[in-house]
Structure 1
């Protein structure tokens, strides 16, 4: 992957590698009682196939900060962002706002656009004509370290 730091986000351009897939056990891992091992059916799994719908317009970016913790986006999580998706009310988007990138939930009405953080310690941002504003892409998945 090629990394590019832009404000609070680091963007990664994915490098597609054919034939690269991990082992996948198609059984469903029990979060309750253990299941017998004879139920495991080993297959191969490609995270690109699972997480990426449009390879040409998909990018990754690492979260920096705590403004979206209520949506499950924590500092250092890796976002999967699709630039081909249409922005819609309530979607989580990566936006370019006044020279910096930010990730927020879109609140769209007939006449206004708001960027809503998912942490009460951060203000809701009302987008006006004075802002240099672009919805850069829509977040489709988040990859977390455990």
Structure 2
């Protein structure tokens, strides 16, 4: 726990402009993408809340659905590794491709890593999935 010079605990969420957990939750439930992403981070790391990967995935998913590249990447990592949720390589690839289209270099690296780990047939299918997703977002 971080403390101020006078020994009082610092509220790092408040210092970051995110307010209390209750306020953050209210904003996330109201659709605030930044609050949703930050709740995902908190639940994933256990910062200020009990660590809960399902809650992290829920909030990353909410932010990812709104197009947040960081949330797409983080949720993709969870599906890639099966971290607290069932491993799902095709969905991880899809999430990485969404983030990569927004310029996330880590997501491009994730896509490349996946393609080296699957069979040539699976890689071709994943590439098609990524291309279909790209075409859908352009229309």
- Scaled by the length of structure 2, the TM-score of the pair is 0.29
- Scaled by the length of structure 1, the TM-score of the pair is 0.28
Greater RCO, 1 or 2 (C-alpha within 8 Å, sep 6+) = 1
Structure with the bigger percentage of strand? 1
